[in-house]
Amino acid sequence: MALPTSGPLSIAQIEGEFGGSGAKSLSEYYSAASGVPSVGNPLSISDFRGTSNVITFSYEIIGGGGGGGYGLEDHGATTTTASRGDNSYISVNDNNATGSRGINPYGSRGNAGRDGVIAFNDGDARDGEDTVYGAGGEGGNNGANGSAAPATSYGAGGGGGGGDQADFLDKSAGNAGEGGFAGGRNTGTITAVSGVTVTATIGAGGAGSTGGNYSGGAGASGFVRITYNGQNYDFASSGTVTLN
C-alpha cells in the first residue's frame, strides 16, 4: 500500500513500506522507489510521499523466427530440415510476483518452413512470415536462394529457397521452399516488489535449410520490451534491468 500523499509521515511508516528494522536514518532508503533520490543526494521525508514498495510493469516478448525451407529443381520434397526459432522469455527475482498472463512468460518459437512444397509459380508462400516489427525474409526467385529475415524484423521468418520452372529443354518443374514462420508474441503485466531484477533471454532465429538446390534463409532473433514508469527497456540480446 502506497505511503500517504499528505498529512503526517514518519520514518517508521517508511520502514513499514520498504522493510528494515529500527531504521534510524532516511539514508537507508536511497533509491527505494521511483522518484526517491540516489546515494549522494539529500533525502527528506517528503521524497517518500505517495511511494510504494510495489511496482507494475508491462512486457512484450517475441520468439525467434523459423528458417526457410530449401527449393529444388525438377521435383518436390516432403521434408523439414530448416530449424525452428528459439523461445524468448523473461524471469523475475521475486517469488511473490503476480502477472496478468503468468510469471516468467515467454514468446514461442517460430516453426520452420518445409522443403520443396511450394509451386514454382507461387511467389508469396515462399516469403518468411512478417511480425509487427517488419517483413520476413524474401523467398528466392526460381533458381535463387531465399533471404534471411532482416535483423530488425524481430521474430520474422526466413525466406524459402526458389524452385525451377519447366521449359522446352527442362520438362520438369521444381518446387520452392516454404517461408519460415514468425515467433509468437506475448504481452502482459507483472506486479512485483520495487527493486526487482528482470532478466530477458532472447531466442535465436532458426537456420534456413541447405540440403536442396536453393537454400532457405535464416529467421530473425526474438525481442523483449519492458515498459515501466513511461520508459521502454528494449532487448535485442539477452540482458537484465532493475526496476525501482
pLDDT single digits (tens) 113-123: 999 999 999 99
Q: Distance between CA atoms of 117 and 157, rounded to whole angstroms?
A: 17
pLDDT of residue 53: 77
Same domain, 156 and 36: no
Structural contact between residues 106 and 176, judged by C-beta atoms closer than 8 angstroms: no
Identify whether 6 is part of a domain: no
What are the φ and ψ backbone dihedral angles of 88, each rounded to 5 degrees?
-105, 150
Residue 218 belongs to some domain of the structure: yes
Is 125 in the same domain as 37? no
Does 145 fall in a domain? yes
What does the alpha-carbon distance between residue 12 and residue 21 come to, in Å, rounded to a whole number? Answer: 9
Pair 178, 61 in one domain: yes
- Tell me if 4 is assigned to some domain: no
Do 143 and 27 belong to one domain? no
pLDDT for 224: 98
Q: Are residues 102 and 68 in the same domain?
A: yes
Residue 76: give the domain boundaries: 56-244
Do residue 69 and residue 17 come from a single domain?
A: no
Is residue 124 domain-resident?
yes
Residue ranges, the chain, pLDDT below 70? 1, 16-17, 21, 23-24, 34, 167-171
- Most distant CA pair in the chain, distance: 92
**Spatial CB neighbours of 128, under 8 Å, sequence gap ≥ 6:** 65, 66, 68, 113, 135, 136, 137, 138, 139, 146, 149, 156, 157, 158, 159, 160, 179, 180, 181, 182, 217, 219
Q: Are residues 213 and 244 in the same domain?
A: yes
Contact 64/238 with Cβ under 8 angstroms? no
Rounded to whole angstroms, what are the CA distances from 104 to 29, 153, 160?
A: 28, 24, 33
Residue 118 to residue 178: CA distance in whole angstroms: 6
User: Is the domain of 175 the same as that of 103?
Assistant: yes
Question: Do 33 and 107 reside in the same domain of the chain?
Answer: no
Shared domain check, 165 and 206? yes
In-domain check, residue 22: yes
103 with 200, same domain? yes
CA geometry: angle 156, 158, 159, nearest 5 deg: 130
Is there a domain that residue 3 lies in? no
84 and 38 fall within a common domain: no
DSSP 74: S
Structural domains of the chain, count: 2
Domain-located, residue 230: yes
Q: What's the burial of 160, exposed, middle or buried (CB within 10 Å: 0-12/13-18/19+)?
A: buried
